[in-house]
Amino acid sequence: MGRWWPSRLLLGLLCAVVSAGLVGRTDGGVTSSFVRKPAKAVDMPIDSDVFRVPPGYNAPQQVHITQGNHDGSAMIISWVTEEEEPGSSKVLYGTDRDQLDLNSEGKYTRYKFYNYTSGYIHHCTLRHLKHDTKYYYAVGIGHTIRKFWFTTPPEVGPDVPYTFGLIGDLGQSHDSNVTLTHYESNPKAQTVLFVGDLSYADKYPNHDNVRWDTWGRFVERSTAYHPWIWTAGNHEIDFAPEIGETVPFKPFSHRYHVPYRSSGSTAPFWYSVKRASAYIIVLASYSAYDKYTPQYQWLEAELAKVNRSETPWLIVLMHSPWYNSYNYHYMEGESMRVMFEPWFVKNKVDVVFAGHVHAYERSHRVSNIAYDIANGKCKPVPDESAPVYITIGDGGNVEGLANNMTEPQPNYSAFRESSFGHAIFEIKNRTHAYYTWHRNQDGNAVAADSMWFYNRSVRDLSECSSCSI
């Protein structure tokens, strides 16, 4: 803490507090000096415990759930069966563990990818769920029944507390397993906001889609119980013309359904959901976003729909970060930033979470929207109306850590560290949210970086003048 700004120290608990182990302040914020073992990330072998197929004839596997409509009163249940016959697409559910008296009929799909043929991929939407209620559900009706549960979010409203986990670029290495275990050990987390790059199956010969299946089985222990809100990353594109695969996002879009239609979107790669007191907008770094494109038109209309009196917290997820000071994917997010950053500032987006860069970084509240080709105003400047940008692409995939940083640390960057981990965004009420980042080497209670977020319209700036700048 020694070299941290004295004004911040005085602000104590109320303002951004960063844990011990920090030196090396440069131009901008802090580059953590935390020393980790330089071990290479290695995928878990195919016969690992986490990849085991559940026993029983045509047992449902890779069970995962996600929010099923805009206000959180529906849930999409998905799973895969791998025998010759598809099995039932029905879900039995109810609030009494022993009496699943409701049911919903889903559909199945399957796809081929080069010489791989998927199992039957079932998707079933449960509608008209009661808010803030624990439901039990069963899949595999008629053959091997497996039971799980989930809790619906409270009704949308400005003071509803809710806790999100943030995970990105997870993959299926030993480190991925540590990240997931670490997330699971947080007793408060209720839903995962996933910022893209799921299985990394495309790292295998011919994008071996068996690795999509192993990934689905690996994460089931969380995704069958907690909804994961999906963002598409570059490892979801699976565009491989050299083996005749020319339809982008084929495996991802068959396997992971999202409620894009309920937010008026025309494609599953950009959409929004409301959950508790948060409005979550998911953007697509790998779909067109120039002026006149569907995503551009959708986002323009979408931002106008956000009612901050109802959902004070406006969160955006995307894969490729706009503010990134690592020497990886440098400026890949730049063209989207140019298109959308003025809207984010105008609409006072609270926070933007991205992945892609396999490390951790948090920005100050900055914007870079004054440049007009001729005026030379092309540097990020402090801006209270701007979001905080967080890169959380540190899930632990096989590509390993990004550890080469631009030097000196640019002044928009508040904190950066090249470690695997996950984050927690804990909304307390309409004015306060507490954010923490947890590196894998630490116990769950340890936050290696943290920050209080405030509703910037109501907060008394004099009380906390340098909190998030």
Pull the structure tokens for residue 265.
């979107």
Distance of closest approach, residue 68 Cβ to ligand NAG, in angstroms: 22
**Minimum CB distance to Fe ion smaller for 191 or for 234:** 234
User: Whose CA is closest to 14, among 335, 451, 431, 457?
Assistant: 451
Per the CB < 8 A criterion, the answer to whether 251 and 240 are in contact is no
**Cα–Cα distance between 26 and 19 in angstroms, integer?**
18
Paired with 245 in beta bridges are 240
Residue 295: CA count within 13 A, CB half-sphere = 19
User: Whose CA is closest to 367, among 390, 344, 347?
Assistant: 344
Distance of closest approach, residue 375 Cβ to ligand NAG, in angstroms: 13
| b (16+ CB within 10 A) / e for 145-181 | ebebebebbbebebebebbbbbbbbbbbbbbbbbbbe
Sites for ligand NAG among residues 358-377 (CB under 6 A): 364, 366
Sites for ligand NAG among residues 156-215 (CB under 6 A): 174, 177, 181, 206
Distance of closest approach, residue 100 Cβ to ligand NAG, in angstroms: 28
Distance of closest approach, residue 384 Cβ to ligand NAG, in angstroms: 12
Pull the structure tokens for residue 178.
């540590």
**Active-site pick, 123, 182, 319, 329:** 329
Using CB under 6 A, which of 385, 432, 441, 444 touches ligand NAG? Answer: 432
Distance of closest approach, residue 101 Cβ to ligand NAG, in angstroms: 33
Residue 328 contact among ligand NAG, Fe ion, none, beta carbon within 5 to 8 Å by kind: none
Enumerate helices (H) and strands (E) in the chain, giving the number of each: 6, 27
Sites for Fe ion among residues 226-255 (CB under 5 A): 233-234
**Minimum CB distance to ligand NAG smaller for 258 or for 433:** 433
Pull the structure tokens for residue 337.
């930033």
- Annotated active-site residue 207? The verdict is no
Residue 372 contact among Fe ion, ligand NAG, none, beta carbon within 5 to 8 Å by kind: none
Specify the DSSP class assigned to residue 154: P
User: Whose CA is closest to 282, among 304, 262, 260?
Assistant: 260
User: Whose CA is closest to 427, among 460, 459, 452?
Assistant: 452
Residue 297 contact among ligand NAG, Fe ion, none, beta carbon within 5 to 8 Å by kind: none
**Minimum CB distance to ligand NAG smaller for 197 or for 350:** 350
Sites for ligand NAG among residues 37-96 (CB under 6 A): 44, 48-50
Using CB under 6 A, which of 246, 309, 375, 462 touches ligand NAG? Answer: 309
Distance of closest approach, residue 197 Cβ to Fe ion, in angstroms: 4
Residue 225 buriedness (CB in 10 A; 0-12 / 13-18 / 19+): middle
**Minimum CB distance to ligand NAG smaller for 239 or for 330:** 330
**Cα–Cα distance between 192 and 225 in angstroms, integer?**
11
Residue 233 contact among Fe ion, ligand NAG, none, beta carbon within 5 to 8 Å by kind: Fe ion
Specify the DSSP class assigned to residue 202: G
Distance of closest approach, residue 434 Cβ to ligand NAG, in angstroms: 7
| 411 is an interface residue for ligand NAG by CB under 6 A | yes
Residue 431 contact among Fe ion, ligand NAG, none, beta carbon within 5 to 8 Å by kind: ligand NAG
**Minimum CB distance to ligand NAG smaller for 144 or for 431:** 431
**Cα–Cα distance between 118 and 73 in angstroms, integer?**
30
List the x/- string, 319-358, binding to Fe ion by CB under 5 A: -------------------------------------x--
Which residue is it, tokens 């980790």?
Answer: 36
DSSP helix/strand/coil, 29 = coil
User: Whose CA is closest to 350, among 285, 268, 435?
Assistant: 435
| 251 is an interface residue for ligand NAG by CB under 6 A | no
Which residue is it, tokens 């967080």?
Answer: 390
**Minimum CB distance to ligand NAG smaller for 50 or for 102:** 50
Using CB under 5 A, which of 43, 197, 213, 238 touches Fe ion? Answer: 197
Q: How many residues bind Fe ion (CB under 5 A)?
A: 4
| 396 is an interface residue for Fe ion by CB under 5 A | no
Sites for ligand NAG among residues 435-464 (CB under 6 A): 455, 457-458
Give the number of other Cβ atoms within 10 Å of residue 193's Cβ. Answer: 24
Q: Which residue is nearest to Fe ion (CB)?
A: 356
- The distance of Cα 116 from the centroid of its chain, to the nearest Å, equals 28
- The 3-state DSSP composition of the chain as helix, strand, coil percent (nearest 5) reads 20, 30, 55
Residues of this chain that interact with Fe ion (CB under 5 A) are 197, 233-234, 356
Question: Residues with catalytic annotation?
Answer: 329
Which residues bind to ligand NAG, rule: CB under 6 A? 44, 48-50, 115-116, 174, 177, 181, 206, 307-310, 312, 327, 348, 364, 366, 379-382, 404, 411-412, 428-432, 455, 457-458
